[in-house]
Amino acid sequence: MGKKHNVAVVGVGAVGIEMLRCLKQRNFPVGDLKVFARSAREIDVDGDKYSVEAISPEGFEGINIALFAGTEGEKGAAVTYAPEAIKRGVVVIDNGADFRLDPEVPLVVPEVNPEDVKQHNGLIANPNCATIQMVVALAPIHKKVGLKRVIVSSYQAASGAGRAAADELLSQSKDILEGREAHPKAMPKQIAFNVFPHIGGFGELGYTSEEWKTVRETHKILHDDTIKISATTVRVPVVTGHSESVYIRCKHKIKIDDIRKLLKESPGIKVIDDPSKGLYPTAIDGAGIDDVLVGRIRQDAFNDNALWLWIVSDNLRKGAALNAVQIAELL
Ligand SMILES: NC(=O)c1ccc[n+]([C@@H]2O[C@H](COP(=O)([O-])OP(=O)(O)OC[C@H]3O[C@@H](n4cnc5c(N)ncnc54)[C@H](OP(=O)(O)O)[C@@H]3O)[C@@H](O)[C@H]2O)c1
């Protein structure tokens, strides 16, 4: 039997719960498992009971790998607790945004840059959900024909903003259907029966922080900051499953059939692309599964080097929990 690892999961919100599922579904060799959140309690995930402990630095004694999915206001719980865990010999895999662009911290998508894991000094960052699904599809194309320009609009599910936001979509939908007014709390605007181009805070050049994450994290993962990337991030009334409309211009001429074949042969991707039969991925198709779904692959009618893709993935699984567990598997 292989070696077992003592694992800690930090946070039992939208991502933390999915981490517990992924560890079990993938038979990760877990020795002792500790689950931390702000307060102690018992939880049930698909019929399995877990004892949640209140997080403390001492709680990380004896742990080998910690998967962080805890929020602490605007920051991740890793800001306070990762240094404490690392001091105790733990390797931390963090879902928060705080360390992703730190040059000392590898930012890893196992299908794209697995070798970067080796550079870690106790901390490995998991990229943003919208970035992960995009780079899984773009990396093979970049390797083959070189990307020059990427223009992406992401249509992001409510659970991407955490459990409270997903709950708000459902309760607000009910309120509106029953004739009551919407009172946004977890989201900046009404999310039920609405769409708004605002994820994160507005900043540099009028782009949001989420839009800059897509740009900078893609550069770091692909080790190429010459790719010109522009993003628009939109919140849509979907519970789980981010969708992206991506325009890419390559350095060389492309043939759509070659791109389709390349993507079919690339890890972590399932191509669903037969519009004549009504076959293309939707957000619901991506929810609950591991693959990144790609469809609507089509040439730019005015540029031989350019094409469009529609990319769908489960933001809580490949976009967060599954990617983190795959990093743990690499370790
Ligand atoms: N949702 C996504 O699609 C997604 C994708 C990629 C990355 N992320 C990142 O993953 C992290 C978690 O997101 P989420 O969507 O799961 O959030 P969430 O649903 O709001 O859950 C947050 C969890 O963090 C726990 N927590 C808060 N402060 C903590 C602390 N100081 N120490 C330990 N645990 C603490 C909470 O504990 P209690 O239950 O006790 O309150 C709760 O269980 C965030 O950093 C987020 O940016 C999320």
The residues spanned by each domain of the chain are 5-126+321-330, 131-314
Residues 82-107 have a mean pLDDT of 97
Best residue for ligand 1 mutational test, from 41, 45, 71, 322 (most atoms within 8 Å of Cβ): 71
Say yes or no: domain 131-314 is CATH 3.30.360.10: yes
**How far is residue 167's CA from residue 174's CA, in Å, rounded to a whole number?**
11
CA 113 / ligand 1 centre spacing (Å): 25
Q: Is 140 in the pocket of ligand 1 (CB under 6 A)?
A: no
**How far is residue 91's CA from residue 297's CA, in Å, rounded to a whole number?**
39
Angle in degrees, 0-180, between the axes of helices 129-145 and 209-222, rounded to the nearest 10? 40
Q: Indicate the residue type of 328.
A: A
Q: From 259, 272, 207, 257, select the one nearest 233 (Cα to Cα).
A: 207
**Global pTM?**
0.96
Q: Within a 10 A sphere around the Cβ of 233, how many other Cβ atoms?
A: 26
Percent of the chain with pLDDT over 70: 99
Q: Is 55 in the pocket of ligand 1 (CB under 6 A)?
A: yes
Pairing of strands 147-156, 228-235: parallel
Q: 141-157 in b/e burial notation, b at 16+ Cβ within 10 A?
A: bbeebebbebbbbbbbb
Q: What CATH architecture is 5-126+321-330?
A: 3-Layer(aba) Sandwich (3.40)
Which pLDDT belongs to residue 290?
97
Which pLDDT belongs to residue 1?
53
User: Does residue 2 surpass a pLDDT of 80?
Assistant: no
Q: Is 59 in the pocket of ligand 1 (CB under 6 A)?
A: no
Q: Is 241 in the pocket of ligand 1 (CB under 6 A)?
A: no
What is the sign of the dihedral through the CA atoms of 235, 135, 151 and 105? positive
Helix, strand, or coil (residue 142): helix
How does pLDDT run across 117-147, given as a tens digit for each residue? 999 999 999 999 999 999 999 999 999 999 9
How does pLDDT run across 22-66, given as a tens digit for each residue? 999 999 999 999 999 999 999 999 999 999 999 999 999 999 999
Query: Which residues carry out catalysis?
Result: 129, 242
